[in-house]
Amino acid sequence: MPRPQESIWGSINTCLEIGIEIYRLFCKTANGENKDGIAIPIDKAKEILPVKALSAGIEKDGFIYFESPDQILIPMFELLKSAAITNDDFIKESGDLESIENSGKVSVPEYFGKFPPPQTSTNATVTEIRNGAYMIKAGQDFQIALHNGLAYHDIGLHAYNMGIEKDDYIVFDRNACAAPLFELSLVYPEINDLIINRESLLQTLIEKYPSYVDYWNYTYASVEEDSVIKANGSIPSMFLQEHYDYEAENVREAVCAFDEISEHEADLDMGFELLDDEWELEI
């Protein structure tokens, strides 16, 4: 079958055959937007791709199309696994099957499945924030755990290094989680919704992680002005509901401890008063 002359995305600027009748397309839409993906003749695709993979593509004019950056992961994974792709540059660019699968679990979990939750001690509770991101709570203390597949996909090395690696997860304490949550909140609405006080999150980064702030602002300030981290005078470490719960529990425990001490001191005072009375009687 001839190579595609047009695509679902518009005119084709570049068409590379990366396997027998498997095409990597770079296109431009009518409004000038760049699009790219993989195109395969439908009959060929039915021979080399699972039925579930075929359902993820879009058929038109005898071809099936998979758009980058998300849907393209499906044929990439299946075709690399079956050695149907022969272009060395594309193989090198794609990475190994595990990294593609992890990216797929982030972007296309309905095809690749979800990340397994982190393993924790029996007294800890684990709550999913989104696929690959979890809240771990033990008492009132808490941590944020990110699967390496999500972390590698969506946070930078500076943020990653603030956590501690544990099995397939990177775990952040209640302050260090500010950096990965900040970066993830720019991508995922459910992470953004988790942050109840964004000013406090930014102030936490300013006060506790100034080197990260310098890196972020130097790297992204000229690109995305809205993402620049600036001091705002807020109270740090109060950007999640769990922070408020943690501080409230600390106050409650402090009040209980104070009450116990006060009661104990009252008992001691009563004892001393009796001793004083006895001393006066002896005199």
59 and 131 co-located in one domain:
no
Residue 275 pLDDT: 46
Report yes or no on 265 lying in a domain. no
Shared domain check, 108 and 17: yes
Does any domain span residue 58? yes
Residues 146 and 104 both lie in one domain: no
Q: For 91-118, what is the mean pLDDT? A: 95
Tell whether 234 is covered by a domain: yes
pLDDT band for 195, please (50, 70, 90 cuts). Answer: very high
> What pLDDT does 50 receive?
96
What sign has the CA pseudo-torsion 81, 84, 86, 87?
Answer: negative
If asked whether residues 140 and 227 sit together in one domain, one would say: yes
Q: Assess whether 100 and 183 both reside in one domain.
A: no
98 and 171 part of one domain: no
Q: Which residue has the higher pLDDT, 202 or 253?
A: 202
- The pLDDT assigned to 139 comes to 83
Q: Are both 137 and 238 inside the same structural domain?
A: yes
Q: Please write the tens of the pLDDT for every residue from 166-176.
A: 999 999 999 99
The rounded percent of the chain whose pLDDT value lies above 70 is 86
**How many CA atoms lie less than 13 Å away from 128 in the CB half-sphere?**
7
- Name the strand (E) or helix (H) holding 128: strand 125-130
282 in a domain, yes or no? no
pLDDT at 193 over 90: yes
pLDDT at 212: 96
Residues 131, 166: one domain?
Answer: yes
Instruction: Pick the closest to residue 98 from 130, 83, 76, 117 (CA basis).
Output: 76
Quickly state the pLDDT bin for 270 (edges 50, 70, 90). Answer: low
Looking at the structure, tell me whether residues 94 and 135 fall in a common domain.
Answer: no
Which residues lie closer than 8 Å to 274 by C-beta, 6 or more apart?
none
The predicted-structure confidence for 75-89, as pLDDT tens digits, reads as follows: 999 999 999 999 999
Examine the fold and report which residue of 81, 112, 143 is the final residue of a domain before the chain moves on: 112
178 belongs to a structural domain: yes
Task: Write out the H or E segment, with its range, that includes residue 110.
Answer: helix 109-112
Q: Is the pLDDT of residue 272 over 80?
A: no
Q: Which domain holds residue 152?
A: 125-242
CA distance 87 to 89: 6
Report how far residue 241's alpha carbon sits from residue 140's, in angstroms, rounded to the nearest whole number.
11
Residue 44 binned pLDDT confidence (cut-offs 50, 70, 90): very high
Q: What is d(CA 229, CA 232) in angstroms, rounded to the nearest whole number?
A: 9
pLDDT score of 271: 53
What Rg, from alpha-carbon coordinates, does the chain have?
A: 29
pLDDT for 249: 78
**91 falls within a domain:** yes
Q: How many domains does the chain have?
A: 2
| Tokens read off for 194 | 């988790």
Nearest alpha-carbon partner for 188 in 150, 159, 219, 217 = 150
Domain's final residue, options 112, 133, 157: 112
Distance CA 221, CA 204 (A): 19
Residues 130 and 102 in one domain: no
Query: Same structural domain for residues 192 and 233?
Result: yes
What local confidence, expressed as pLDDT, does residue 274 receive? Answer: 45
The answer on pLDDT for 254 being more than 70 is: no
Convert the pLDDT of each residue in 14-41 to its tens digit: 999 999 999 999 999 999 999 999 999 9
Question: Is 248 within the bounds of a domain?
Answer: no
Identify whether 54 is part of a domain. Answer: yes
Q: Among 82, 112, 142, which residue terminates a domain?
A: 112
Q: Determine the pLDDT at residue 269.
A: 54
